[in-house]
Structures are given as C-alpha cells and as structure tokens.
Amino acid sequence: MTNVMAVVHNPSSTVDRQGVLFDNTSYNTRFGVVLADGLGSNGREVTRGNQKVFRIGQNYVLGTGRGDHITFVMQEIAKNPPSTPQGLGDRIIRTSRKYIRFDKDDVLHFIIAGGNPAKKLEVYRLHVTSIQKPLLCEGGFAIDGSGADFVGKALEREGQLGLSTLLSPGATLAETVSSLYDLGHVARKSAGVNEEFQYGFITPSGLATLYHPRVWLAMPPREYSDKNGKFLPQIAQANNEMYWALDQHLYKAYQTLFDFNRVATALRQGHDTQLHRLLIEIGDERTRVLEGITRRIMDYVRLHNQDRPKNI
C-alpha cells in the first residue's frame, strides 16, 4: 500500500553530461530525485498524510510497509547514521531485525538514494523481511509498493513507443521530476496510493525535501525545522506555497507533453504545415515550462542550503 520511486543520474563518459542552468553557469548534471505518496497503514487502519521520505545525512530513505515500523527504524538510524547508501542499508536491515517482531505476512521494504554528489550517486533496494543485504540498482532506478505494477507497465509502454526520458542518459532534472510526477499519478490506479506527493532533490548545490502540505512530519528535515529539529510552521507555510507552485508547473509540463505527443502522432499520419507549426509552438512552450521547474527547484535547494539567521 504505497508508491515510492527513486532515480539518480551520473555523468556518462559517452554522453556530454555538462549543461547550462537558467543563470548560464556551468554545472555538473549528477543529480537524483525521489518521490512517494502519503497513504499508509499501521497494521490496523489506512491513513493519509504519512511521511515516507526521510533525509538521513546526504541520503534519502523511502519506506513501504507498516508506517509505525518505518518511522521507528528511521528514528533509530538517525541517532548515528552511516554516511554511505550501502552502509545505511546494512544498518537499516540490522536495526529492523533487531527491534521489530514481524508477523508472517509483514513486509518492510526500503529504497535508499544518495551518496556523494561530487563523485557518484547510487540507489539501493532493501527487502528487510526476506533478503539480508542491500541490493544495488545498476540502472539507478528503483520502485516499490502497490503502485509499482502500474508504473512498470507504463514505463514499458513508453519505452516501446520511444517516449520515455526518465532513464535517458541526457535527462535533465526538470524532465526527471516531471516524469516521476506523471508516474506518481499513474500509480494512483492502485487503491493504496494517493496524491500526497513528497519529493527529495539531490543536486550539486545540496539536498532539499518538499512535502505535500497534508503530510505529517514525524521527523521534520532541516527544510522544515530549526537547528534542534523542532518543526517551524512559518517555514512550512513558505514551503507549502512552493509545493503548490511546483505542482502547477508539473501539471503544465504534463499537459504540454500530452499535446506534443498528440500532434506528433497526427503529423506521422500525414504532412500538415499547420500541425508542424503547432508542434514547434508546443515544444517551445514545454521548454519554457521545464526551465521554470528547474529554476524553482534550484532556488528552493539553494535557499535551504545556505546559512540561516542565528535565531532559526
């Protein structure tokens, strides 16, 4: 009952992975994005607004299974966390099996995305109740939960049509976030997935987490708390405004992609000068929307990775 996804991109020796940000400064395109929904269970009832994205050091951990088990493990790990994704995975498995008594049908899975943005980012999958070690995802992508079947079929269909950019070596940050947003809505075909999206961004400028305003933060990250980990409503309110602004841009990106594919399909069926001109206009609009998404995300990341006033 959930949908959690993570993807990382590392520079390739065969593809030019240097790009230009909106401010015309060159940057390393190594980055990662994680996304989860907010529907969960404590083993007795289904609830909304569950935190599933946890920032642990320079890594993100996403959990699927009983919400109380996930939160307990994250709170224990946060006391003295390992720095590497693999080390974090080993610790999560040991902690889970040490403190949690699993029933026969219990499932507890995690996805870890992170590492050193200056060197290499990695994604690991953990099946705590069945496999005793972290599993490295060679392709830099992992998905888990009840929405995974729907997402997997959508990715397969897009791949056959040549439409998927999620795992493309040249994918940008905005394209990746937009793809995960679209797939998050695909996953909602599962009764165990909702629209309370929560994001984690890994960039050369730092990490930043962004939650749907209805998500209750059992472990508020730095972006939502003071130096002592206390939740700050005034910062959360500003982050909520950022969330809705980004959500509007992501929906617009979905609309432009839908329109572009629709017109492109019509063009393949016959040459039409007006359709060709329309396709160019839609493509230009999509470019502007994606640039806006990049700008908002990077502004948000930089904001939450700068020094704060001493009273916060």
- Which candidate, 137, 139, 152, places its Cα nearest to that of 3? 152
Structural domain includes residue 301: no
CATH at residue 127 = 3.60.20.10
In this predicted structure, what is the pLDDT of residue 168?
82
Structural domain includes residue 126: yes
Look up the pTM and report it.
0.90
Structural domain includes residue 49: yes
Structural domain includes residue 232: no
In this predicted structure, what is the pLDDT of residue 206?
93
Structural domain includes residue 19: yes
In this predicted structure, what is the pLDDT of residue 46?
80
Structural domain includes residue 270: no
Structural domain includes residue 120: yes
In this predicted structure, what is the pLDDT of residue 105?
82
> Could you give the C-alpha distances from 187 to 44, 47, 49, 134, 196, in angstroms and in order?
23, 17, 17, 25, 12
Structural domain includes residue 300: no
The rounded distance, in Å, linking the Cα atoms of 134 and 124 is 6
- Helix/strand/coil for 113: strand
Q: What is the pLDDT along the chain (312 residues), one digit of tens a residue?
A: 689 999 999 876 444 444 444 333 334 478 999 999 999 866 567 889 999 999 999 999 999 998 999 999 999 999 999 999 999 999 999 999 999 999 888 889 999 999 876 688 999 999 998 888 999 998 899 999 999 999 999 988 877 776 677 878 788 999 999 999 999 999 999 988 999 999 999 999 999 999 999 999 999 999 999 988 899 999 999 999 999 999 999 999 999 999 998 888 888 877 677 888 899 999 999 999 999 999 999 999 999 998 765 555
Give backbone dihedrals phi and psi of 26, rounded to 5 degrees, phi first. Answer: -70, 140
Q: Which range of residues forms the domain containing residue 28?
A: 4-216
In this predicted structure, what is the pLDDT of residue 156?
86
- Which candidate, 309, 312, 240, 305, places its Cα nearest to that of 55? 305
Q: How many domains does the chain fold into? A: 1
